[in-house]
Amino acid sequence: MKTSYRYFIALFSFIVISFDLSAQSERFNVDSIKSLVHQLSSDTGQVKAFIDMAAVIYCEDSNNKIIIANEAKKLAEKINWHDGLYKANRKIGDIYFTCMKNYPKAFAALGENVTLAQKFNDTLNESIALETIAKFYQKLSQHTKALEYYNKVLALRPDINMQIGVLADEGVVWKIIGDYNNALISYKISLNKLDSFANSKHGRDIQDTLQRAGLLLNIGDIYLTMSNPDKAYEYYEKVWKLTVSIKDIYFQIASLTGFGKTFKLKHNYQKAIENYQLALFKCREINEFREEVKILDELANTYLDTYVYPKALAYSDTSLRLAEDQSYVDLLPKSYITLGNIYIKQNMYDLAIPSLQKALSIAQTNRDLDDEKNAWFALYKAYKSSGKHMEGLDAYEHFISTRDSLYNIDKENEFTKNSLEFEFKKKQEIDSLSQARIYDSTIDRQKRFTYTGFAGLLLVVALAFFIYRNYNIQKKYNELLSREKKSHLAHIEAQSNVLSDIAHTQAHHVRGPIATILGLIQLFNFEDPADPVNKEVIEGLAVVTDKLDKVVKDVIIKENKLRYGKDEERTES
């Protein structure tokens, strides 16, 4: 007797959840799964069953997971079911990307969907495939590629909901690379499209309201990052008014936290504390522990800024204990750093140093360079103030190194932003030329038809001549344009290589000696010039200065290579 599709999937999901992975693997090998699926009456039902089973199998069993997904694809191809093939390829791409980390195969699976959709002029599935590719690139921090594919989706003019989501995702990418103006443009266009869509329905439903609140909140966050608290407050206030009407506590917490940050940025600490307290109260209403940890840390830092150390310590301790209880590993470094800074302000260095060392250890495990930088700097202050000069020097050198790593990331994002702007302008110029050529070609074609009617065979021969001549001119023009483009790109690449080399030298060879010099100067005994330590300090300075002189000369040579295309030094008059 044939099993219904829904009953079969429910039964299989229950078994997968009920048994651990090893038991599941023993109970359901690929052959037994095929046997179960073939009990379904329809071919399309079997394809759906394979896809759904691939979804519920855990990533730890990724080999069986991908085999089952490929079974769905083979069957969809066999019965020539395009919708099933799209879904199977999406599942295969997701497995390769998420579970197996085989990114080329993940992109290849989605590329098949793009090709298939273009073949059948299926704009919807082409848009879905391109959007998924963009999201994958975004997760891999390949921001240029992500934006490229998001723009491909928008060029297809998909449905309004997809346009709104893609524009919002573009805003996220622009924000990550530090191009806040383009981030604001993307979010605001998305917001305008959402409002137009809601108006066309003659009303805004709850989903529209929540989506609008999310966009407004992101815009407020960007203005806050740009140190524009008044504009940030304006958008947080819109979120507050919007979500109070629908009683959404999560967005209320976010807007109240935003209010607190804007007041803190304006040094209105009392107002900041009031809003943080309100947000904290709402977090506790719904047991929103994660946001509670963040707000407690904000309160601790606000009281620290106002020198109210007992309250700062109380809030910091509460934040830390809650983060530990809930295993919020990503939030722990900030809580420990705040606690360490409070101890430093109170000259309690024996308590500050262990807290900061914990923060540093967790930050390094999390690979969070920003937390790592802040932990090193706080440790430097603690060691220096407690008289541990060598440990302080080591912490300061690590702080400089980490800060420079972040600086290089920022410069890379800046280079990416500039490259994107250059490509955008170049594309505009190419599009303008292309449109002009299309227009000229259309006019010329109309003229040729008119002349053909009056001139007959002789004019046709002349027309063929002109077409041949224009073809040769266009061909030469295209060849010239291609050569110029290659030459320009090669020049940009050469400059980029030299700049990267200089940046690497500065980060790894200049900053180290400078940090060492700064540390040695702190060890110099100015009160007793005859102190034997001073001689060692001066000798150390001589060695480091000589090393720094060689590095500076090397940088000058590289700079001259960049500016003049020469390797030798140039003497400035």
pLDDT at 411 over 60: no
Residues contacting residue 477 through CB under 8 Å, at least 6 positions apart? none
In this predicted model, which residue has the larger pLDDT, 301 or 446? Answer: 301
Residues contacting residue 41 through CB under 8 Å, at least 6 positions apart? 2
pLDDT at 430 over 90: no
With a pLDDT cut of 70, the percent of the chain lying above it is 73
Q: Which range is most confident: 287-296, 537-546, 563-572? A: 287-296
- 85 and 40 co-located in one domain: yes
* 121, 139, 174 - which closes a domain: 121
Residue 440, number of CB atoms within 10 A of its CB = 11
* 60, 88, 121 - which closes a domain: 121
Contact status, residue 322 vs residue 296, Cβ threshold 8 Å: yes
* pLDDT bracket for residue 570 (50, 70, 90): very low
pLDDT tens for residues 154-199?
999 999 999 999 999 999 999 988 899 999 999 999 999 998 888 8
* Phi and psi at residue 461, to the nearest 5°: -60, -45
CB-based burial label for 275 (10 Å; 0-12, 13-18, 19+): buried
At 573 the pLDDT is 35
Q: Which range is most confident: 264-268, 383-387, 442-446? A: 264-268
- 524 and 409 co-located in one domain: no
pLDDT tens for residues 84-137?
999 999 999 999 999 999 999 999 999 999 999 999 999 999 999 999 999 999
Inside any domain, residue 136: no
Inside any domain, residue 229: no
At 568 the pLDDT is 46
Q: Which amino acid is at 118?
A: Q
Total structural domains in the chain? 3
d(CA 68, CA 47): 10
At 424 the pLDDT is 46
Domain that holds residue 512: 443-564
pTM: 0.65
Q: Which amino acid is at 73?
A: K
pLDDT at 444 over 70: no
3-state SS, residue 442 = helix
- 473 and 395 co-located in one domain: no
Contact status, residue 399 vs residue 373, Cβ threshold 8 Å: yes
Average pLDDT score, the chain:
81
The upper half-sphere exposure of residue 261, i.e. CA atoms within 13 Å in the direction of its Cβ, equals 27
Residues contacting residue 186 through CB under 8 Å, at least 6 positions apart? 167, 168, 170, 171, 174
pLDDT at 447 over 60: no
Alpha helices in 226-348 (DSSP H): 229-246, 249-265, 269-285, 289-305, 309-325, 332-345
Tokens 């969907």 -> residue: 113
Contact status, residue 143 vs residue 173, Cβ threshold 8 Å: yes
Across 78-87, 114-123, 523-532, least confident range: 523-532
Tokens 């060695």 -> residue: 543
Q: How far is CA 168 from CA 104, 150, 186, 258, 414, in A?
A: 26, 10, 6, 20, 21
Inside any domain, residue 298: no
- 369 and 318 co-located in one domain: yes
At 494 the pLDDT is 67
d(CA 238, CA 446): 55
* pLDDT bracket for residue 472 (50, 70, 90): confident
Helices 389-455 and 369-385, axial angle in degrees (round to 10): 150
Inside any domain, residue 218: no
* pLDDT bracket for residue 26 (50, 70, 90): very low
- 461 and 415 co-located in one domain: no
Q: What CATH number is given to the structural domain containing 335?
A: 1.25.40.10
Inside any domain, residue 264: no
Q: What is the largest CA-CA distance in the chain?
A: 108
CA geometry: angle at 109 spanning 104 and 113, to 5°? 140
- 419 and 447 co-located in one domain: no
d(CA 544, CA 79): 74
d(CA 363, CA 341): 16
- 9 and 95 co-located in one domain: yes
* 97, 121, 145 - which closes a domain: 121
- 452 and 496 co-located in one domain: yes
pLDDT tens for residues 243-271?
887 888 999 999 999 999 999 999 999 99
- 412 and 447 co-located in one domain: no
Tokens describing residue 84? 């099933």
Q: Which range is most confident: 280-284, 453-457, 501-505, 563-567? A: 280-284
pLDDT tens for residues 362-375?
999 988 888 999 99
At 102 the pLDDT is 95
- 117 and 2 co-located in one domain: yes
Closest CA to 274 of 298, 243, 244, 247: 298
At 8 the pLDDT is 52
* pLDDT bracket for residue 560 (50, 70, 90): confident
Contact status, residue 275 vs residue 259, Cβ threshold 8 Å: yes
Inside any domain, residue 536: yes
Inside any domain, residue 131: no
* Phi and psi at residue 147, to the nearest 5°: -65, -35
- 1 and 117 co-located in one domain: yes
- 453 and 560 co-located in one domain: yes
What's the DSSP call for residue 198? Answer: H
* pLDDT bracket for residue 556 (50, 70, 90): confident
Inside any domain, residue 127: no
